[in-house]
Amino acid sequence: MSTLPHFDYLTRILTSSVYDVAAETPLEPARSLSGRLNNTVLLKREDLQPVFSFKIRGAYNKMAALDAEERKRGVITASAGNHAQGVALSARKLGCEATIVMPETTPQIKVDAVRALGGKVVLKGTSYNDAYDHATELVAQSGLTYIPPFDDPDVIAGQGTIGMEIVRQHPQPVHAVFVPVGGGGLAAGIAAFIKHVRPEIKVIGVETRDACAMKKSIDAGERVELKDVGLFADGTAVKLVGEQTFALCRDLLDEIILVDTDDICAAVKDIYDDTRSITEPSGALALAGLKAYTAREGCTGQTLIAVNSGANMNFHRLRHVSERSELGEGNEGIFAVSIPEEPGSFLKFVDLLGNRSVTEFNYRYGDAATAHIFVGIQTTGAADRAAIAAGLATAGFPATDLTDDETAKIHIRYMVGGRSPNVRHEHLVSFEFPERPGALRHFLSHIKSGWNITLFHYRNHGADYGRILVAIDVPPEDNAAFAAFLDSVGYPYEDQTGNAAYRLFLG
């Protein structure tokens, strides 16, 4: 008998009941990407499931294990995404009623998808936590069985069948399997199988830098709850991982790699280029981690597998993905450049770039001495960007590399040139607002009379939360009151007053 921890999951996975409703998805080569990375890259296509996500596996396995009386009473869950659809389809297959509690802010397309699968939708609250609290109340009142999204042995085992398929589909050597991590059910299940039958294969989790609850928990040796999480990869935006998934991931994962929004957008494009399919941000998370790993390790000639976990992409987010994918690939750099305000300066600047393409150029007259321009330049990576900045500085054009500056990329690139000589004590703050009616009014109602909003920028990226940049003119004697205001609003925020791009173009 194995001495590895969690050995019982091997049996659970081998005896899982998922294939009445879930498909055995293909393991497909990403030929173009493989050539670029000089490794064999294989994609586990969970985006091809009936609900376009791996979540159907765990949901069905859990529900298939219920007894007749539990099925008769019905099931319930709280979810605004892929788990909701998995539960609804599983309930239809098993002939039981499913109640799905979703936040009132859930996009209508997701509500309609759950209803189309036969789920009874209850809209409650403005967040997942509100929906979850209401679902637990309904469980107590009605006796419905709650179907958890990740922290349950049957759910974990259902997701673990992906690991079983990978081992069967590719018996040849594999260097590493990359798995997205949210609550941890998928990574825990895959690792539980692979580490018991092919322990030489690395199983590597991938999280976003702004939603890395599992990595922080493993590093701390206990579960750590995040105060806020980034929502671009909303399918893995979990503040607190499960108890059982934490134990499995802590014991079985080789490591967790962190990536950012640009990395994910580039991976979405890579998957499209090789498969002509579009994954959701969380669906491309594993491939983003795979690419980061190859860049860090410099490995070549290896077989690397990424789990494409889902394809429930909001169409309106594609614009944002397209804009950011070039940055993620290192094909574009964004710079703030100071040039003399004199005839011929722009031409000299362009000549310095040689054959490079200028992908974006923003400028507005500021003063008679110096012009600050916001420019996008075609590049081949970080070393190339450093060379560009050095070359510009040598020519007397000081440049600041803003390629990794999130505020510059989301907001300031669209707002360059706006200064007001009448603003003396401006504070710049970025917020995440919930996309719901009344959110702006709630914000404005907390602002002290006498404070002027001097800048406001918002752009919808097709997510449940909007990214807002606000400047407010606050007299120095009100600084303490301003700090109290920021905490009282209740929205995640960051002080951006010292941001370099803001200082150059707006401050």
Structural domain contains residue 363: yes
Give every CB contact of residue 188 below 8 A, 6+ residues apart in sequence: 150, 156, 159, 160, 244, 245, 248, 249, 252
Q: How many domains does the chain have?
A: 4
Same domain? 183 vs 36: yes
Structural domain contains residue 416: no
Q: What's residue 1's pLDDT? A: 31
Same domain? 210 vs 65: no
Which residues pair with residue 146 across a beta bridge? Answer: 76
Q: What is the rounded CA–CA span in Å between residue 358 and residue 346?
A: 12
Same domain? 337 vs 355: yes
What CATH number does residue 397 fall under? Answer: 3.40.1020.10
Structural domain contains residue 103: yes
Same domain? 301 vs 163: yes
* Domain end among 111, 146, 181: 146
Q: What's residue 32's pLDDT? A: 96
Q: How far out from the chain centre does Cα 72 lie?
A: 37
Burial category of 216 from C-beta neighbours within 10 Å (exposed 0-12, middle 13-18, buried 19 and up): middle
Structural domain contains residue 386: yes
Same domain? 68 vs 110: yes
What CATH number does residue 79 fall under? Answer: 3.40.50.1100
Same domain? 191 vs 281: yes
pTM of structure: 0.76
Q: What's residue 363's pLDDT? A: 64
Same domain? 162 vs 292: yes
Same domain? 184 vs 284: yes
Q: What's residue 139's pLDDT? A: 92
- Write down the catalytic residue from 16, 217, 277, 309: 309
Sign (positive or negative) of CA dihedral 116, 119, 120, 122: negative
Structural domain contains residue 254: yes
Please name the residue that has the structure tokens 């909001």: 314
C-beta atoms surrounding 282 within 10 Å: 28
* Domain end among 114, 146, 178: 146
The full DSSP string for 88-153 is HHHHHHHT--EEEEE-TTS-HHHHHHHHHTT-EEEE-SSSHHHHHHHHHHHHHHH-PEE--SSSSH
Q: What's residue 435's pLDDT? A: 59
Structural domain contains residue 115: yes
Q: What's residue 111's pLDDT? A: 87
Q: Is 309 a catalytic residue?
A: yes
Give the sheet arrangement for strand 426-434, strand by strand: 452-459, 465-473, 426-434, 493-495
Same domain? 177 vs 284: yes
Give every CB contact of residue 51 below 8 A, 6+ residues apart in sequence: 82, 85, 86, 89, 117, 312
Q: What's residue 441's pLDDT? A: 64
Structural domain contains residue 413: no
Q: Is 488 a catalytic residue?
A: no
Same domain? 142 vs 172: no
- Write down the catalytic residue from 16, 44, 53, 55: 55
Q: What is the rounded CA–CA span in Å between residue 11 and residue 422?
A: 71
Same domain? 288 vs 355: no
Q: What's residue 275's pLDDT? A: 96
Same domain? 220 vs 316: yes
Structural domain contains residue 2: no
Structural domain harbouring 12: 8-54+153-325
- If the chain, 507 residues long, is cut into consecutive pieces of 10 residues, what is the mean pLDDT of each piece? 67 94 96 96 96 94 94 90 92 94 79 92 80 90 92 96 97 98 95 96 96 95 89 81 95 96 92 93 95 96 96 76 70 84 70 75 64 80 86 88 83 65 80 66 71 66 64 88 86 87 76
